[in-house]
Amino acid sequence: MLNISNNQLNKSIDITKSKSGKRVFYGRYYKYFNRFLGAFAIVGIIIMFLPWTQNITGGGQVTTLTPDQRPQNIQSPIPGRIEQWFVREGDFVAKGDTIMKISEVKSEYFDPNLVQRTTQQREAKALSVTSYGEKVKALNRQIGALSQERGLKLEQARNKLIQSKLKVQSDSIDLEAAKTNKQIAQRQFDRTVTLQEEGFKATKDVEDKRLKLQGTEAKLISQENKLLASRNEVINSQVEISRVNAAYSDKISKAQSDMFTAQSSQFDTEAQVTKLDNQVSNYQMRSDLQFVTAPYDGYINKVIRGGVGQTFKEGESLVGIMPAQVDLAVETFVEPIDLPLLHIGERVRVQFDGWPAIVFSGWPNVSYGTYGAKVVAIENFISDNGKFRVLLAPDEEDHKWPKDIRAGSGAFTMALLDDVPIWFELWRQLNGFPPNYYQPERAAKTKTKKAH
């Protein structure tokens, strides 16, 4: 009833006591819905006080823990031409297995016997070194012999000099004796002349004394000549010593010069031998490089330079290989604002692409399909995508990662932080505040120890 008439029947007639009125005015509507709302409100209030784990999410991909286990391209350090393939894509190869054979494209390496010929050159030069060494030894012996002979010749010349000096002394004494004899003969002659003038001596006696005087004078002159000759012998002996010394010094110097020349040639030949050794080693290693081998056990991913007869430059990638045994890891990227909240050793949950998962970001313990990891490295410089790279390794205390995941597949990560009530997390999200800044227990204990 609209009650727009002046005659209002609801005031004169009580309709609440009728059966229909009782159903309309005294009935309770939505009783179960109201109970549901009340229960939902109570549960919602309780949920607001439940713990919530703050986290930092990020996206990344599966990689390997060490660089030597990551996929790589096998390159050739020398230019060449593909001659033969020994593998196909997807084949397993062990370390050292031959993947392909290549041939040389440079003319200086075309000789198939290059290593043997260079080895022969090296052996010839080595024999030259031996010959020069023997020549040096022979010249050393010659120098020793010349030195010994010079010593003997000098000793002989010195002895002759001593003899000459002694002879000079002897001739000097004889000269003095001759002078004395001449003086005696002169006095005898003068005395005989005086006695002959006085009549006591005959003329014959004077003549005999004169002959004797002339004889002593001749002996004196002869002795003077002998003395001069002896002195000349002394000078000649001194000259002989100088001559012997000069002659043998010249011979020894020439032998030494020949020896130094031989040594120089020996050293030069030794340098050539060393250079040839280097060439032999280089040629041998270059010959070994004609067979491209696997650096480790792995699988052939992709042939980059296919076909036979194609040429390539040094350093050009030929084939891709993936290691068979790898230690998987996850590289994820976080925003710069979240970087101070991450520390080495912190726990992270990882969801791999292609693996079913039910994720509750705030309740990691009730999530399904996520796997445990821990932070092992944090990059110090920002990446090209404007984020910082974080490397995660499997957590040994958690479930093992799936064995069928491959490097390069995607991954979603959640770094677990502080535990807060849900109402606090909602309030933080509504206000746009960052997660709580905190230090791990290990860092806090370390600071406490340093303070004490």
In this structure, what CATH number is given to the domain that contains residue 319? Answer: 2.40.50.100
Spatial distance between the Cα atoms of 418 and 433, rounded to a whole number of angstroms: 14
Domain limits for position 395 = 51-69+326-451
Q: What is the pLDDT of residue 275?
A: 92
How would you classify the pairing of strands 410-421 and 347-352? antiparallel
pTM above 0.75, yes or no: no
Say whether both 248 and 310 belong to one domain: no
Say whether both 162 and 270 belong to one domain: yes
Say whether both 333 and 443 belong to one domain: yes
Q: What is the pLDDT of residues 281-322, one digit of tens each?
A: 988 888 888 899 998 888 898 888 878 888 888 888 899 988
**Percentage, residues of the chain above pLDDT 90:** 9
Q: What is the pLDDT of residues 348-389, one digit of tens each?
A: 888 888 777 665 555 566 566 688 888 888 888 888 888 889
How would you classify the pairing of strands 291-293 and 298-303? unpaired
419, 53 contact by CB (below 8 A): yes
Say whether both 166 and 267 belong to one domain: yes
Q: What is the pLDDT of residues 169-182, one digit of tens each?
A: 888 888 888 888 88
Q: What is the pLDDT of residue 361?
A: 57
Three-state SS annotation for 172-240: HHHHHHHHHHHHHHHHHHHHHHHHHHHCCCCHHHHHHHHHHHHHHHHHHHHHHHHHHHHHHHHHHHHHH
Q: Domains in the chain: how many in total?
A: 4
Say whether both 353 and 428 belong to one domain: yes
Q: Is 109 domain-assigned?
A: no
At residue 123, what is the residue type?
Answer: E
At residue 301, what is the residue type?
Answer: N
Q: What is the pLDDT of residue 138?
A: 92
Q: What tokens does 28 get?
A: 């309770």
Say whether both 435 and 308 belong to one domain: no
Say whether both 28 and 156 belong to one domain: no
| DSSP assignment letter at 268 | H
pLDDT at 236 over 70: yes
Say whether both 280 and 165 belong to one domain: yes
Say whether both 270 and 304 belong to one domain: no
Q: What is the DSSP string of 387-443?
A: SEEEEEEE-TTSPPPPTT--TT-EEEEEEEEEEEEHHHHHHHHHHTPPPPP---HHH
Three-state SS annotation for 278-307: HHHHHHHHHHHCCEEECCCCEEEEEECCCC
Say whether both 253 and 368 belong to one domain: no
